[in-house]
Amino acid sequence: MHSFTGGKNQQFDLIYVKDWKGEPTTGEWNRDYGFKVNIDFHIVSTLGHGRYVDYLSRDLLIKTQNGRKSQRWYFHQPSRTIRSREKNQSIDIKSSGKSNVLQYYTTSSRWW
């Protein structure tokens, strides 16, 4: 327990059992995260030329659209992470969150 600070770590939503509709399934919106569950999407840069998020080794970068699965992503409901369709691993912050570099990595659902 901790004294009141009003931070997010002390805020909760209550859902009455009779109102619980269960987890969203494939194609349904996860309204809390703003994604459709398990539906492929591209992450496109708004910087000129509409480049797509892709990866090289494990690091994420932006490249021209090439139709490869490495540029396809989806929202994974059980872990609540964005995963690569090709490698089925999640977007992650490198060095356990101590970097400004994004990579894809085994899903842990931790936010640094």
Residue 72's pLDDT band (cuts 50, 70, 90): very high
| Cα distance between residue 75 and residue 107, in whole Å | 12
Q: Name the band, by pLDDT with cuts 50, 70 and 90, for residue 14.
A: confident
C-alpha count within 13 angstroms, C-beta hemisphere, residue 19: 4
For residue 56, the model assigns a pLDDT of 87
Nearest to 73 by CA among 29, 21, 37, 24: 37
Instruction: For residues 17-41, give the mean pLDDT.
Output: 91
Position 88: which residue type?
N
**Domain spans in the chain, listed from the N-terminal domain onward:** 23-105
Report the C-alpha gap between 109 and 112 in whole angstroms. Answer: 10
Q: Read off the tokens for 103.
A: 């990579």
CATH tag for 23-105 (out of 1.10.3720.10, 2.40.10.340, 2.80.10.50, 1.10.760.10): 2.80.10.50
